[in-house]
Each structure stands twice: as C-alpha cells, then as structure tokens.
A and B are shown apart, each in its own frame.
Chain A
Amino acid sequence: MTVFPESDRVHQRHWGFLIGAGLLGVAAIVAIFAPFITPHDPFQQDLALRLKPPFWHEGAEPGYLLGTDQLGRDYLSRLIYGTRISLVLGLGAVLISGLIGITLGIVAGYFGGWIDTAISALITTRLSLPVVLVALAIVAIVGGSLTVVLLVIGLLLWDQFAVVARTATMSLRNAEYIAAARAMGTSRLHILVREVLPNIRAPLIVVATVEMANAILIEAALSFLGLGVQAPLPSWGLMLSEGKNFMFFSPWLITLPGVCLFTLTLAINLMGDGLRDVQARDR
C-alpha cells in the first residue's frame, strides 16, 4: 500500500477507510480473477433459461446463484465481469485525467503569471462544459465503446486535479527547499517532478478517489442512456438499462447491478473521506 503513504500510521484506526479499502480490495480481486470465479460464460445466452430469479426466490434455477437475465445469461457471471469494466474504466479515466490535470495545475501554480492566467481560464472553460452532455455528444458522433468512453471521461474530468495541484503548488513555490533547488541550478522539470509533486501527493490522491467514483458513475449513466459501453459487454449501467423494462416483475435485474454500482462507489468514496480526515488531522 505504498500508494497511500500514511496508511501505516493512522488508517488502521479509521473505520470508513478500512471498510472502503476492504470492499475495494474485494472488488479488485473479483475483477482480476473474474475468469476463474465465474460459474458460467457471461456472454453465453440460453433463451430457454431466461429471467430465472436468484436463489432466494421460488423457481430459482440450480447453478444460477443470482438468476439469469432476459437472454438467459448467468447474472452472477455478468456482475463479476461488470466489476472489471467499472474498475478498468475508473482507473483508466483517472490516470488520463490525473496526468492532464496535475501537469496543468503544477505548471500554473509554479510559474504563475500569464501561464497561470491561461491555464486558469482553461480550467474555467472545462468547468462550464456540462460533462455528461458533452460526453454523450462525442459518443453519439464517434460511436460507443469502452475505449471511447474511457478516453472521453478521462479527457473531461481533469479539472479538480488541476485546481488542487495549482493551489498546492502555489503554497510550495516559495518554500525554502524549492528555492534552494532553484539556486543550485536544478532543472525546472526536475524541480516540478522530484520536489513539488511528491509534496502535493496527498490531496491529489483524495481527488483521485473522488474522480474515480465519479468516472464510474458517469460511465454507468452513459451506458444506461445507451450511449456508452455497448452490448454484449456487461457494464452495470447497461445491465440496468437492459433490465429496466423487466423491473416490475423481475426486480433483481435492476436491484443487483444498482447495489454493485452503489457499493463500489461507496467504497471508493469512503477511502477518499478517510484519507481526507487523516490529512486534516495531520495538518
């Protein structure tokens, strides 16, 4: 857990963080080992076995723990693969947006002046673009796929990274060790990457958790509207959209993916809150 530098010290005592990390860990394991733990092929349809309820209902089909969907595909297997999609999407989007946002933020905060003005204007521009709307428009033009959705969300969610990185860098700009490095003739790139970045890491990690949860929810919303990840991929949002027409008489088709989505975003948010609390305490 080197990603979370403070984890050894305080986090053991923060329940929210522990629960969140635990749930996220389980999700990660499920996603990584998906092919080995799914009882069925998540794509294989069997129209004779369609809309079977989960095991706690009457009429459940043995071997299909969480029932089947409208095409007779094993729901548990689809939910498991859905974890993969959400996590890949969340991590991928945060990597892209983090790279863009942090670079812009550090540059703006360190150099100030007209560079800062320009980048701040860029941030304001980004903030005034409605994310879901723009993402939908682009997907509508380019066509939906996991890659497209990942790229689009990644390219849209960098604003908070930039804001936080900029403010944090500004407060460091005149710190003694930075001034010392500058005096020693260290290259600017070196200063930014080696001196500034490590010292503003903590708040950025909190932003990363928030944006990851955000990215996952936006993907689900796009897929729910039919302009995101495309069938037959078992995106939770798409599963909700497919199950929606059946929700009156086969409610598990929407409760299960919804609960999964909720649990995953909750876990990530709990971790983020935990980190934030710890940082606040440390300060």
Chain B
Amino acid sequence: MTGFLLRRLALALFVLVTISVITFVLSHVAVDPALGVAGDSATDEDIAAIRAQYGFDRPYLVQYAAYIGNVLSGDFGRSYLSGEPVIGLVAERVPATALLAFLSIVFALALSVPLGVLAALHPNSLLDRLALSLAVFGQAIPNFWAGLLLILVFGLNLGWLPISGSSSLAHFVLPSITLGTFAMPALMRLVRAGMIEVLDADYIRTARAMGLKERTVLWKYALRNAVLPVVSLTAVQFGFMLGGSIVVESIFAIQGIGYLAWQSMSRADMPVIQAIVLLVSMAYIVLTLAADLLNAALDPRLRRAS
C-alpha cells in the first residue's frame, strides 16, 4: 500500500512539474510578458524598463525558477487587464464553476446509474436499446448547440427556467443539463458494462443460489462492485468539466473560471490563462489521485497487490 501511495504521489508530482513548464512556456516564452504588463500606450523605453524591472531579460531557466517560487507562494501574477492579482480573480469564480460541474455530474449520474443498471439487467431489451441510443445521442450532440436549443425551448418558449446568470439554483438547471449530457454516455456505458460483468461473477451466482433476495443481491453486492470504476471515471469527468464548462459558461453568462478563461483569451491576458490552465490541471490531478486512493481503499484486490 505504501509503495503504491508513493509511486502515485511521485507521478502526480511529475505531472505537476510538466504542466507548470507548459504554462510557463505559454505565458513567458510564447508571448512577450513585458508587452502585456506595459499596456498599449507604452514606448520602447517603457517596455525595456519593465523587462528589467520584472526580470524578463533573465535566462528562461532562472525565470522558470522564479515563476515556480511565485506559484508555490500563491502568486500567479497580475492580470494585464485589470491589474488585480490573478489568484483573486480566479478564486472569486471558482464557486460558480464548481457548482456547475457538481450539478452536471449529479445530473449525469442520476441518469446513467439507474439506466445503466436496468439496461444491464435486461440486455438487448427495448430498455437497453433506448439507454444505448440515449448514450449515442448524448455523445454526438454538440453541447453549445444543445445549450442554445435549451434556451430557445425552456427559457423562451416555455418560460420555465431562467436563461442566464448564476444568482439562484434555478439558473444552473439548463447549464447543468447541457454539460451533464456530455458526461452521461461514458458513465452509463461503464455502469452497464460493469453490472453485466459483475452479475455474471461467481459470487453473485452463489448469492442467488443461496436464495438471497434479488434486491439485496443487486444493490448490496453487485452495484457496489460495479461502481468501483465509476468512481474513477466520475473524477476524470469532473476534471473534464472544469475545463469543458468554458462553452457552457459563455452561453449562459455564468461567471465561472471557464468564462474568465474565454474572456482572457480574447484579450490576450496570459497571466490569467496560465493560472487557469495550471489550476484546472491541478484540480484534475488531485481528483484522480483521490479517486485512485479511494479505489485502493475500496478494492481489496488492489490493496493486496501492492
């Protein structure tokens, strides 16, 4: 177990370092940070002065070390646009995105777990086919298009739900459906496949043969085991959502980090962009790490293997 833990942590660390190199290249090498800091009415002398003042004239390796130092102390630089510290700008917007991602996952799970289980219980039935069609449908529909259609139908035509903003839970319904539809197919396929496999396993057959109630067999034994890979995938999907919410946030005017990223891109505000990429990646790493550890704790086989 300790070996597994250590290896897993080392991997996470490696990934973090690699990603910090990428974000450093994005913000310091691919663009000239001095131009961004100087703003648009700066003269050549101003820019030269800024380059010296901020140390943008040092070798990249030295700059990278300084960059890592700053990041570790929570300093992601200042936005070129507003001059505010990036960390504050991002922190302000995390709750909206986190809530959106959470609700979307809840929506996706609420749809995919029951449907996946039912489909697995009756393979090749009409229900199974319907569930699979839904998965195929959800996979193929472009989420920004779905968002626009939902606005037209439920926001305008029926007037049931608010169209944009994030001031109440009702505001999150349409965006969560839009984003959740994107995560649903993979989850449902996994639940279905996992259930089919587990239901076929010896211990379930034994349990059934012993005359345990079907409901007990299903929910207590089968689902618990089938759910293991779902935990990992949920974490993975959650990570995707933090990044993928960019389109949804821009359509529904939710001021989350995806929207902030999009705004910053059309303004070439690199400090904000690199911070978001770095933070979203970090969130993903932490989530998958947590999922792996949880899996290791839940799954006796894995525990013994290491």
* Residue ranges of A at the interface with B (Cβ–Cβ < 8 Å): 16, 120-122, 124-125, 127-134, 136-138, 140-141, 213, 217, 220-221, 224-227, 237, 240, 244, 247-248, 251, 254, 258, 261-262, 265-266, 269-270, 273
| B244 and A130 within 8 A (CB) | yes
Say whether, besides A265-B139, A269-B140, A129 and B247 are in contact (CB < 8 Å). Answer: no
CA distance A227 to B152 in the complex (A): 25
State the CA gap A122–B19 with chains docked (Å).
Answer: 10
Check if A261 sits within 8 Å of B142, measured CB to CB.
yes
Known: A133-B261, A247-B148. A220 touches B142 (CB 8 A): yes
| A-B contact list, 8 entries, CB within 8 Å | A132-B246, A133-B280, A134-B22, A141-B31, A221-B142, A240-B144, A258-B142, A265-B142
Q: A137, B26: Cβ atoms under 8 Å? A: yes
B250 at interface, CB cutoff 8 A: yes
Q: Which 3 A-B pairs have the closest CB atoms?
A: A130-B243, A266-B140, A258-B145
Q: How far is the CA of A216 from the CA of B285 in the complex (A)?
A: 27
Which single residue of chain A is at the shortest CB-CB distance from B17? A125
Q: Check A130 against B265 for contact (C-beta < 8 Å).
A: no
Say whether A136 contacts B262, CB under 8 Å: yes
Complex contacts, A221 vs chain B, CB 8 Å: 142-144, 247
Q: B242–A225 contact, CB under 8 A? A: no
CA distance A230 to B144 in the complex (A): 18
Q: Is the CB of A129 within 8 A of B246?
A: no
Q: Quick check: A141 and B26 within 8 Å, CB to CB?
A: yes
Interfacial residues of chain B within 272-290, with CB under 8 A of chain A in the complex = 273-274, 276-277, 280-281, 284-285, 288
**Given contact pairs A217-B142, A224-B144, A262-B140, A128 touches B19 in the complex (Cβ within 8 A):** yes
Distance in Å: Cβ of A69 to nearest Cβ of chain B: 16
In the complex, are the beta carbons of A137 and B142 less than 8 A apart?
A: no
B15 within 8 A of A: yes
Q: Is the CB of B281 within 8 A of A121?
A: no
Closest to B133 in A: A16
Nearest Cβ distance between residue A229 and chain B, in whole angstroms?
Answer: 15
User: Which of A121, A130, A137, A140 interacts with B11 by CB under 8 Å?
Assistant: A121
Question: Which label, helix, strand, loop or mixed, suits the secondary structure of the A interface?
Answer: helix
Task: Write the nearest CB–CB distance from A210 to chain B, whole angstroms.
Answer: 8
Say if the beta carbon of B14 comes within 8 Å of chain A: yes
CB <8 Å contact, A140 and B142? no
**B170: which A residues are within 8 A, CB to CB?**
none
Given contacts A141-B26, A251-B152, A265-B142, 14 further A-B contacts (CB under 8 A): A121-B14, A125-B15, A127-B236, A128-B281, A130-B281, A132-B243, A136-B262, A137-B26, A213-B139, A254-B148, A258-B148, A261-B145, A266-B137, A266-B140
B268 part of interface (Cβ distance < 8 Å): yes
B277 touches A140 (CB 8 A): no
CA–CA, A131 and B148, complex, Å = 22
- Classify chain B: how many residues form its interface, as a range: 35 or more
Task: Report the bound CA distance from A254 to B146 in whole Å.
Answer: 11
Residues of B within 8 A of A16 (CB): 136
A99 and B11 alpha carbons, distance in the complex (Å): 25
Q: Does B239 sit at the interface, judged by CB under 8 A? A: yes
Give A262 to B141 CA distance when docked, in angstroms.
5
> A23: shortest Cβ distance to chain B, in Å?
11
Say yes or no: B139 contacts A129, CB within 8 Å. Answer: no
- In the bound assembly, the distance between CA atoms of A177 and B75 in angstroms comes to 57
C-alpha spacing A261/B14, complex, angstroms: 38
B30 part of interface (Cβ distance < 8 Å): yes
Selected contact of B149 from candidates A124, A224, A226, A258, CB within 8 Å? A258
Complex interface bits, B249-283 against A, C-beta within 8 A gives 1, otherwise 0: 01000000010011001101000011011001100
Contact B11 A124 (CB under 8 A): yes
B53 at the interface (CB under 8 A from A): no
- State whether A128 touches B288 (Cβ < 8 A): yes
Give the residues in chain A near B261, CB-CB below 8 Å: 133, 136-137
Q: Does B18 contact A (CB under 8 A)?
A: yes
Q: Is the CB of B145 within 8 A of A129?
A: no
On whether the beta carbons of A130 and B284 are closer than 8 Å, the reply is yes
Q: How far is the CA of A224 from the CA of B146 in the complex (A)?
A: 13
Is B56 interfacial (CB 8 A cutoff)? no
Which A residue's beta carbon lies closest to that of B247? A221
Asked if B246 and A133 sit within 8 Å, CB to CB, the answer is yes
A212 and B10 alpha carbons, distance in the complex (Å): 33
From the candidates B139, B247, B258, name the one contacting A269 in the complex (CB within 8 A): B139
Q: Which of B136, B265, B280 contacts A227 (CB 8 A)?
A: B265
Residue interface bits B228-253, CB-to-A below 8 A is 1, else 0: 00000000100110111011001000
Q: Are A270 and B136 in contact (CB under 8 A)?
A: yes
- Determine whether the beta carbon of A125 is less than 8 Å from that of B262: no
**Residue in chain B with minimal CB distance to A226:** B266
Looking at the assembled complex, report how far the CB atom of B208 sits from the nearest CB atom of chain A, in whole angstroms: 24
A213 touches B266 (CB 8 A): no
- Closest residue of B by beta carbon distance from A124: B15
A122 to B11, CA, bound (A): 10
Q: How far is the CA of A131 from the CA of B137 in the complex (A)?
A: 22
Q: Determine if B284 and A128 form an interchain contact, defined as CB atoms under 8 angstroms apart.
A: yes
B140 near A213 with CB under 8 A, answer yes
Contact status B140-A125, CB under 8 Å: no
Whether A269 pairs with B136 at a CB distance below 8 angstroms is: yes
Q: In the complex, are the beta carbons of B247 and A128 less than 8 A apart?
A: no
Most buried by B among A224, A227, A265: A224
Q: Taking A141-B26, A221-B142 as contacts, is the C-beta distance between A129 and B19 under 8 angstroms?
A: yes
Contact with A along B286-302 (1 / 0, CB 8 A): 00100000000000000
